[in-house]
Amino acid sequence: MSARILPPTPAAIAEAADLLRAGQLVGMPTETVYGLAADASDPEAVARIFAAKGRPNDHPVIVHVAAGADLSRWAARVPDAARRLMAAFWPGPLTLILPRAPGVLDAVTGGQDTVGLRCPSHPVAQALLAAFGGGVAAPSANRFGRVSPTTAQHVAGEFDQAVPVVLDGGPCEVGIESTIVDVSSDIPILLRPGHVSAVALSAVLGTAVLTRAQMDERRSVPRVSGSLSAHYAPRTPLKLAGAAVLAAEVAAARAQGRSVGVWSSRDPGGATVWVQAPSEPERYAQALYATLRELDGRGLDLLLLENPPAAPAWSAVRDRLGRAAVGSGAG
């Protein structure tokens, strides 16, 4: 039996909330990607996430909360920096790493003394969280390390009967996972780039937000979702190439008898399949995972993607593509 994709009617949301209370998994839309949701306070339910995804046990998951939720159930304290970021960006695509409260499951935190919290802006996610009345662990609804889902159909095709219901919230507006910022200490650290940029974070905080690379030598930083070098990967080998050498890369692959799918701003010529890439970072991010999934399903020998610009606005996209290339075995 395949997962049932349901329109987000009040009855469907109530059914999904009942499934969460019963310890089952639910496909939940958010503005970033679709999540594989379970009751974050139920150890057996959280274990079902890890089993369904094939996720390493020490890899933490993010707890999603409703707007206005009491965070004391999850966080031991909420520093001033966190409150300022919440006021500016919640509900929205921003995850905050906070000191964990007593009683938060080790499976949720990866055994660390911190917990990741997010308040999604998608109206269906908010309706489900309000109906459920608790925190929901919801990593991306895909097999671990593979391409994240941005439609309900992606989720249903990934898990079949392991997920009884997927709420259909339409294509995800943002399209890549949330920005993650560690605010558990006195120095805010950007651990995963996303739609909320470092510039926007710094403007709210009135101080520069440092990156993981800048902090690694000073102190350890928490493990967070999407931080492994190999992630977000299609099964087809994926290679990144600059615009100037893309045509030569296509020609070389075709000379070897390999079929090639290309995602680039201009047609390099000679590709088996060419898809035009958006020129704006927001539109590119929104289309990224759906395009990777579509090309991955073509049975091609190689995917060639044009390297995005090095400008800060493209940092989140570049992060995802770099990890996808490594995860595909071609990076």
In this prediction, the residues of the chain whose per-residue pLDDT falls under 50 are none
Q: What is the dihedral of CA 128, 131, 132, 134, to 10 degrees?
A: 100
**Crossing angle for the helix pair 281-296 and 315-328, to the nearest 10 degrees:** 20
List Cα–Cα distances, 274 to 209, 255, 269, in angstroms. 38, 17, 8
Residue 58: CA count within 13 A, CB half-sphere: 5
Give the chain's domains with CATH numbers: 4-215 (3.90.870.10), 238-328 (3.40.50.11030)
Residue 222 has a pLDDT of 83
Residue 199 has a pLDDT of 94
Instruction: With residue 128 as reference, give the H or E element that holds it.
Output: helix 123-132
Residue 213 has a pLDDT of 75
Give CA–CA dist 230/228, Å, rounded.
5
